[in-house]
A and B are shown apart, each in its own frame.
Chain A
């Protein structure tokens, strides 16, 4: 029987994979993908708690829907920003985007 513990450990490992990607990736789009992995770890957590504690009430799943919606909004704005940066600076590596002095 798969218990809540399995899901929590899985989502913890997924979270640290995402954190590692956010810290080490040089490409902005790679960083955005790692953020998506972190959101998915959160969603697994929410749905697993919902399933194992309150299977009749669906508040965890409703919250996960909001997380997915906000992830979509974040991806839209983030990717249009990335494309604007690429048009102006011709690079996607975060250490080269350093025009903001001060």
Chain B
């Protein structure tokens, strides 16, 4: 780890540690608030295109949370793949299948009250089990920033090489499947 040490001496990331921690708390709460607000908007908006735009905000906020958790490579992947890829795909699907009267119809089915209760029941179970769990007493690491890209590359082509290759097969299968499903033909012949 000699390279990491010289890297640290060159850019002293941890000089203003207390100040940084204070700011990180504010940033965390703002990010979490915006994330929760925009995801509630995603599931409650009438127009699907508007909820796609709110989904862009939510995914960017998740990338910000990754930055707060020192996962720099994963934040870049989140922006590139989710906001740049999946979301553009979703927006294309929304625009290709836009129904004019959709804005006047209700977008929520009649089961919304039971599903709200089920969701809050699940949240209650999760929070109770979180409160009873024993891993919360783990030691809190200091915020040392280490660049993660090189290590993730070694991990993906080292110990995780087999899942890496399997995932490439899955991607090939989904590519072929997407081409197959989007061919012009009737389902019922």
B78 touches A68 (CB 8 A): yes
Cβ-defined partner of A36 (8 Å) among B71, B86, B187: B86
Interface residue tally on A, bucketed by range: 35 or more
| Residues of chain B with a CB closer than 8 A to A55's CB | 70, 141, 144, 146
- With A36-B55, A68-B78 given, is the CB distance from A27 to B107 under 8 Å? yes
Number of interface residues of B (CB under 8 A): 85
Cβ-defined partner of B181 (8 Å) among A25, A70, A77: A77
In the complex, number of A-B residue pairs with CB atoms less than 8 Å apart: 228
| Residues of chain A with a CB closer than 8 A to B93's CB | 29, 79, 82-83
Please report B residues at the A interface, Cβ cutoff 8 Å.
21, 24-25, 28, 32, 35-36, 39-40, 42-43, 48, 51-52, 55, 58-59, 62, 65-66, 68-71, 73-74, 77-78, 81-82, 85-86, 89-90, 92-94, 96-97, 99, 102, 106-109, 111-112, 115-116, 118-120, 122-123, 126-127, 130, 135-136, 138, 140-141, 144, 146, 148, 151-152, 155-156, 160, 163, 167, 170-171, 173-175, 177-178, 181-182, 184, 186-188
Please report A residues at the B interface, Cβ cutoff 8 Å.
1-10, 12-21, 23-27, 29-30, 32-34, 36-37, 40, 43-44, 47-48, 50-53, 55-56, 58-59, 61-62, 64-66, 68-77, 79-84, 86-88, 91-92, 95, 99
